[in-house]
Structure 1
Amino acid sequence: MTQPIIETRDLRFRYEDVEGPTPVVLDGVDLKIREGSFVAVLGHNGSGKSTLAKHMNAILLPSGGQVLVDGVDTADEDRLLDIRRTVGMVFQNPDNQIVANVVEEDVAFAPENLGVPPEEIRRRVDDALKAVGMYDYREHAPHLLSGGQKQRVAIAGVIAMRPRCIVLDEPTAMLDPIGRAEVLKTIKELNRTSGVTVVLITHHMDEAAQADRLVVMSKGKVIADGVPREVFQQVEELKAVGLTVPETTELLWELRQAGVDVPLDALSDEECAKVLKDLLQ
């Protein structure tokens, strides 16, 4: 079996506080993320999912246990640049990541800092903007773009660094439904066509349902891990930690509670509609 691109081993973390010990935020997290996969990490605020994300490119370092990026321990300060070249981060608020007054200059910023030759930067910027559907906006001012467009420019800035993995920490939290759909389509396309490993941190069920693998967190622990259509069948367990399930699963689950024999694995609207049509016939 090939080495995972990200691995956490008994990862534990608590924030330092001058007034004494703070609560544990990550409590023994063991995860292996395969290169080329699309993994969603789902959980409430305070579940530890964003703290986990920040360990994946050494923004935070473990209080206990280990994080390995392509086999390199994130605690190895001498390898920090290698780690961050392997794993790029996209945050909630694109305004915090956009640094230039012109879209293409913003996307060029990180490769320039990495010392990439100018002709290679030009190629990377064009490729990255095309990958996120923003090439036609390359000469625009970022502050005039919509939220979804800004977030796609922020993603392009990370793509231009050519990381093998992109971790997105609630990238749609500040967007309207159209912006959310644009960003999610971009993420899926990137994973499918470029083979970039994607780790999507989210609290939206519909986003989590589109990943290949779903990791559910609560109180700093992983409480479920598997294919979304299997994980979402654990309706009672998810409700017990304050999470809901997609509306399709909820509807089928309520029918089951009423004694109707229907499967719970119809995640998409089309699959659910077919189950209901078969039921009525």
Structure 2
Amino acid sequence: MDEMIRLQGVKYAYPTAEGVALPALDGITLDIHRGSFVAVLGHNGSGKSTLAKHLNGILIPTEGKVLVSGMDTADEDRLLDIRRTVGMVFQNPDNQIVANVVEEDVAFALENLGVPSEEIRRRVDEALKLVGMYEFRTHAPHLLSGGQKQRVAIAGVIAMRPDCIVLDEPTAMLDPRGRDEVLETVGRLNREYGVTVVLITHHMEEAAEAGRVVVMSDGRVLMDGSPRQVFQRVEELRKAGLSVPETVELLWELKECGMNLPLDALTVEECAQAIYALLH
């Protein structure tokens, strides 16, 4: 697999009014492979959103480098190419919707880039179909549910044809149904269309859907592995202010009571099978 994004010794500090720099990233070295689905987990203040903003040049490292398909985010001449390669979806869908009609919103960035009208029409229809919002194309965005609005925001990014989508806590303001809608959309983009996905989240169940989980704490990478590998480290995750999926939590508590159970069951079915196997 080749690297979509490479971070090399990235440090970042936010300037303050007093002129004192507040460190947010402390020497991050990380490769994100093309076509992968990576979840970045961490409590509030762990540095995960700061990391997200480095992946398409919204923030530039204080030290170190971020390379996107070989392009240095510190190179201002490449910034437009970098942002076409890596699209961003943020927490609040209301802040990303700019038009009064769904299809006009999805077309907005393409129009600004001077994409020909026929191509815009084709891309907008394709993007809305991909996120399951085509039948809402003539609706007013403010009448949609939170999950639907976020899917429209994702369609706006997809229409730009990025190789990678970074989603910074995209479900934080959504109800469970909206969260499911967005996660299913993101998973399908990765599986069926090969889009590289970086999902920033603090929800364990969301991270369990990814192929790889990177856990951050105090601006550093604390863990990096598959969901099964990472979520077995229950006590370390708790020390970092994080929980584990409910299935792993149950197995861990039973194990603490002396039952010989594995901690790598992520789905309810796997969890039930592990307990069944022990009892029979």
What letter is aligned with 2:123? Answer: R
Aligned with 1:224: secondary structure?
Answer: strand
The reply on whether 1:27 has 2:30 as its aligned counterpart is: no
Between the aligned partners of 2:110 and 2:5, the Cα distance in structure 1 is: 23
Partner residue of 1:53? Answer: 52
Q: CA deviation at 1:262?
A: 0.6
The reply on whether 1:192 has 2:191 as its aligned counterpart is: yes
Q: CA deviation at 1:18?
A: 3.1
Q: CA deviation at 1:171?
A: 0.2
The reply on whether 1:116 has 2:115 as its aligned counterpart is: yes
Q: CA deviation at 1:157?
A: 0.3
Q: CA deviation at 1:151?
A: 0.2
Q: CA deviation at 1:279?
A: 2.1
Question: Over aligned residues, Cα RMSD in angstroms?
Answer: 0.8
Between the aligned partners of 1:235 and 1:43, the Cα distance in structure 2 is: 14
Aligned with 2:14: secondary structure?
Answer: coil
Which residues in structure 2 correspond to 1:94-243 (within 5 Å)?
Answer: 94-243=93-242
Between the aligned partners of 1:100 and 1:240, the Cα distance in structure 2 is: 44
Q: CA deviation at 1:109?
A: 0.5
The reply on whether 1:71 has 2:104 as its aligned counterpart is: no
Contact 2:131 2:154 in 1 (8 A): yes
Between the aligned partners of 2:112 and 2:210, the Cα distance in structure 1 is: 32
Between the aligned partners of 1:113 and 1:6, the Cα distance in structure 2 is: 26
Q: CA deviation at 1:68?
A: 0.5
Q: CA deviation at 1:134?
A: 0.2
Partner residue of 2:251? Answer: 252
Q: CA deviation at 1:162?
A: 0.3
Aligned with 1:264: secondary structure?
Answer: coil
Q: CA deviation at 1:259?
A: 1.3
Aligned with 2:135: secondary structure?
Answer: helix
Aligned with 1:58: secondary structure?
Answer: coil
Q: CA deviation at 1:280?
A: 2.3
Between the aligned partners of 2:82 and 2:97, the Cα distance in structure 1 is: 22
Between the aligned partners of 1:174 and 1:145, the Cα distance in structure 2 is: 14
What letter is aligned with 1:197? Answer: T
Percentage of identical aligned residues: 72
What letter is aligned with 1:7? Answer: R
Give the length in aligned residue pairs.
280
Contact 2:91 2:171 in 1 (8 A): yes
Between the aligned partners of 1:233 and 1:48, the Cα distance in structure 2 is: 23
Between the aligned partners of 2:75 and 2:15, the Cα distance in structure 1 is: 20
Where in structure 2 are there 5+ consecutive unaligned residues?
Answer: none
Q: What TM-score, normalized by structure 2, do the two folds share?
A: 0.99
The runs of at least 4 consecutive aligned structure 1 residues that moved more than 4 Å come to none
Where in structure 1 are there 5+ consecutive unaligned residues?
Answer: none
